[in-house]
Amino acid sequence: MSQILVSHLTFSYESSFDVIFDDVSFTLDTDWKLGFAGRNGKGKTTFLRLLQGKYPYQGTISASVAFDYFPYPAARKDKERMASELLEEWKSGCEEWRVIVELSKLGLDAEVLYRPFGTLSQGEQTKVMLAVLFSGEQEFLLVDEPTNHLDQEARETVKTYLSGKKGFILVSHDRDLLDACIDHILVLNRQSIEVQSGNFSSWEENKRRRDASAEKENEKHKKEIVKLEKAARQAKGWSDQTEKSKIGQKTAGLKPDRGYIGHKAAKMMKRSKTLEHRKEDAIREKEGLLKDVETLAELKMQPLVHHKEVLLEADNLGLRYPESDTWLFQNLKLELRKGERVFLHGSNGCGKSTLIKAVLKAVGYGKGAADHFWNFQEQGRLTLASGLVISYVSQDTSYLNGSIRKFCEKRGLEESLFCAILRQMGVEREQFTKELQEYSEGQKKKIQIAESLLTPANLYLWDEPLNYVDVFTRMQIEEVLLRYEPSMLIVEHDARFQERIATKIVEL
């Protein structure tokens, strides 16, 4: 057991005016199972890179352990090689037998190491990398969002595996995963960093209480400031009035005692200034109270009401790709009615995204898409209500490029409203001057979600919308969906999100 000491850390990227860390200090223990949370763009992955010495910074990071980072790089050429050939490149001195031991804990046979890495499923690739990561000794491990794109079953396996480990930082926006796997949490707040024992839910409850206390104290200070302002004005008024009486008329033949009156006026002025200083101190104290209060702004959306009760119906539907002899699924019966939020559930590769594409194809959505996008065969019947207006959030973000202005112009969105929604989801104003391809993956997903929320539609098709999206934004999205009750067909593996939002779950 040793400590990682972070002292007066300051960092910003050379190409940006944004300060990611500004004179922050904290201490971590290498024996902890540490969760790492915060809004997208706050610097979680950047901090992991700083621990690895990837970027120059001001201040000091002191540690007596080596660091290793998940995920390992896997270039296109690496996909043709066997995983066993990549072990040494990923982790120097990696011993294959140790990897095999870890794979067994993840429910995989050793044979996955001897297949081309690119032929492994997303879940298998993740598990192989995790097995390599945890096969070493005397390291503090940096695990960056291990469950993105994984189905529910694979997530459960990873959750069970990580819950039996220690000595790591886990960056994740999956509340269920964080609660199961961590005993301490590091949070990047709006203007500070805090380290706390417990899991995400215990931190969230503590923060809710602190925020409520800060709000209450803030109201108290606001009232105090009003009282001090009134008292300061009165004292200044009395001072001015007393000062004027120095040149007043004689009373009963006596001249005014100007010395006494001047002394009294000075006392009144001093009291006025004292009250003014107290007011300024109270204002400064009030400003600090709410610096870390995470107010989840209410998002809005514009669902359209269709005249038909049943929006989508599948009868004995089957889908497959022509190069495969196996159907993704067959004999699917599905009915989606107005106001229903139907979640598609099943393992990776079972056809969830392909079903969404089939719905898009049926309404003629995205006619300019590449032919391979529609390269699947159908059997059975898929019927949609006539005139159905669709809003679609894709898994893919690679098409996002150019400025926000051009993005909005191309899609007929009002730029000011679009930026307002992004701000409500925690995207800083400084980001709006950047090209979309420079955004983090989480920020790109927010671009897609903001577009969908602004698009009036009868049916919303969301395909893994929450990958890389921070916890706070997930909560905001939950609330807006519960408030407006849009009709939706969704693929999403976040267990907490599905638990709150789904009105129906369809197994494929």
Of 111, 112, 114, 117, the C-alpha closest to 76 is 117
Q: Per CATH, the architecture of 310-507 is what?
A: 3-Layer(aba) Sandwich (3.40)
40-49, 243-252, 267-276, 404-413 — which is least confidently predicted? Answer: 243-252
pLDDT at 267 > cutoff 90: no
Query: Among 62, 22, 26, which Cα is nearest to 42's?
Result: 22
Confidence at residue 212, expressed as pLDDT on a 0 to 100 scale? 76
| Model confidence pLDDT, tens digit, residues 140-186 | 999 999 998 888 888 999 999 999 999 999 999 999 999 999 999 99
What digits encode the pLDDT tens for the residues 278-326? Answer: 655 555 555 444 455 556 789 999 999 999 999 999 999 999 988 888 9
Place 87 in a pLDDT band, splitting at 50, 70 and 90.
Answer: very high
Which pLDDT value is given to residue 469?
93
Cα distances from 271 to residues 233, 263, 264, in angstroms, run: 10, 12, 11
Peptide bond before residue 71 is cis, with ω within 30 degrees of 0: yes
Cβ atoms of residues 352 and 346 within 8 Å:
yes
Reading the block at residue 478, the tokens are 């939950």
Whole-model pTM over 0.85: no
Give me the residue spans of the domains in the chain.
3-199, 207-289, 310-507
SS3 188: strand
What's the topology of domain 3-199?
Rossmann fold (3.40.50)
Q: How far apart are CA 427 and CA 42, in angstroms?
A: 10
Sort 217 into a burial class: Cβ within 10 Å, 0-12 / 13-18 / 19+: middle
User: Which residue's entry shows tokens 């503590």?
Assistant: 206
Reference 86, options 39, 118, 54; nearest CA is: 118
Tokens of 167: 């000595």
- Averaged confidence pLDDT in the chain: 86
Contact 352, 332 (CB under 8 A): no
What are the beta bridge partners of residue 378? 319
